[in-house]
Structure 1
Amino acid sequence: MATIDYYFATLSPYCYLAGLRLEEVAAKNGAQINYKPFDLLQGFTLTGGMAPKDRHISRIEYRAQELVRQAKKLGLPFNLKPAHWPTNGALSAYAFIAAQNAGGGDLGLLAHSFTRACWAEEKDIANEEVIRACLVEAGFNPDLADSGLLLGAETYTRNLEEAVEAGAFGAPFYVIEGQRFWGQDRIVDLELYLQGKL
């Protein structure tokens, strides 16, 4: 069975736009997903990128146009300037890692719930109640929000190191058999690769 390493950030708008398409592609093509939440802003720094706020105005303006266009194209509600962004994505990532270790729920839905909360629902994903609600929505025990913080922090750091080693420099980023696919708009290409067509 093919394994897709999925490097994502719970505060990434592009991970939100990915929706659950990766999960659909994996299920359809008999692949499994290895979820790896990581510190995207640190990832930018380590791979020669910049935080969105520090980019040249032309890049900032293009990002604003492209996010809105992609959301419309995908039929997803989207707020370009959410009330709680930027925020601390670490706590939601730690909760995700705790859920990953606990099992029993839907990790794809949990990842999407966090990003949707930020980019469509005006919620702060650094808030414990928001984290707990996302856990419940995805079928996990809400108390996972309070557990495994040390392990979560260690895994989050390790995921960042692995992302850089794997050549990931943004999110969403998908790696399978050494092939890298960057961006929610590359899920189609990822599926073609799984099918042996690329």
Structure 2
Amino acid sequence: MAHVDYYFTLLSPWCYLAGQRLEGIAARHGAGITYKPVDPAGLFARTGGKMLPERHESRRAYRLQELRRWSDHLGMKLDPQPAFFPTNPAPASYAVIAAQTAGGGDPGGLVHAFLRAVWAEGRNIAEDEVIRDLLAAHGFDPALADKGLFTGAETYGRNLEDAVAAGVFGMPFYVVGQECFWGQDRLDFLDRHLAGQAR
């Protein structure tokens, strides 16, 4: 069975705009998904990228145009300057890791809910109340917000090492064996690859 390692950050508008297309693609082809949240600052520091405030003004301006275009194209509400951005993504990332380990709920839905909370709902995903609410809404024990914090932190750090080793340099990033797909606009290519049509 094919398997997708999905590297993402809960602070990326591009991960938000990916929606749950990955889950639909994987379901169509019987592929598994491992959700691997990564610290964006750590990834960029290791791979030559720059966090948003460090980018040239022209790049920041173009980013806003592209966010508007893509949100319109996909019909997804998006606040380009959300109230709680940036915030600390680690607690919510630990919750995603704990939920995936626990099983029984909808991890893809949970990931997207955290992203939607940032980019469309004006919620602070660093707050315990928000984390508990979204865990419960997607079939997980809200107590996972407190359980396994050490393991979550350890896995979060290991995900960064895995990402660098796999050639990941931005997010969202999808890895299937040796094939890499960067960006929500590459999901069609991922779909073709899983269908056995890609060269």
Question: What TM-score, normalized to structure 2?
Answer: 0.98
> Residues of 2 paired with 1:119 and 1:42: CA distance?
22
**Who is 1:18 aligned against?**
18
CA separation in 1, counterparts of 2:10 and 2:136?
16
Query: Residue in 2 aligned with 1:42?
Result: 42
2:118 corresponding residue in structure 1:
118
CA distance in 2 between partners of 1:10 and 1:139 (Å): 19
Paired AA for residue 146 in structure 1: D
One-letter amino acid of the counterpart of residue 27, structure 2: A
User: Residues of 1 paired with 2:108 and 2:40: CA distance?
Assistant: 18
Residue by residue over 1:101-122, the C-alpha shift from the partner in whole angstroms, topping out at 9 and shown as x without a partner, is 1111001000000000000000
Read off the aligned partner of 2:109 and give its amino acid letter: L
The equivalences for 1:1-150 within 5 A come to 1-150=1-150
Write the distance in 1 (CA, Å) between the matches of 2:160 and 2:40. 8
**Unmatched tracts of structure 2, length 5 or more:** none
For 1:162, the aligned partner's letter is: D
Q: Percent same amino acid among aligned pairs? A: 56
SS in 1 for 2:174: strand
The residue type equivalent to 1:155 in the other structure is T
Q: Distance in 2 between matches of 1:91 and 1:129?
A: 11
Q: Tell me how far apart the structure 2 counterparts of residues 41 and 23 of structure 1 sit (CA, whole Å).
A: 26
Q: 2:173 aligned with 1:173, yes or no?
A: yes
CA distance in 2, matches of 1:111, 1:49: 23
By how many angstroms is 1:40 displaced?
A: 1.4
Amino acid at match of 2:13: P
Q: 2: distance between equivalents of 1:137 and 1:73? A: 28
Please identify runs of 4+ aligned residues in structure 1 that moved more than 2 A: none
Cα distance in structure 1, aligned partners of 2:32 and 2:130: 28
Q: 5+ residue gaps in structure 1?
A: none
> Deviation digits for residues 142-191 of structure 1, max 9, x if unmatched?
11111111000000000001001101111110000210000011110000
Structure 1 match to 2:158: 158
Alpha-carbon distance in structure 2 between the residues aligned to 1:94 and 1:8: 13
User: How large is the RMSD of aligned CA atoms in angstroms?
Assistant: 0.7
| Count of aligned positions | 198
Once the two structures are superposed, residues 73-116 of structure 1 have per-residue CA deviations (whole angstroms, 9 ceiling, x without a partner) of 11111000000000000000001111111111001000000000
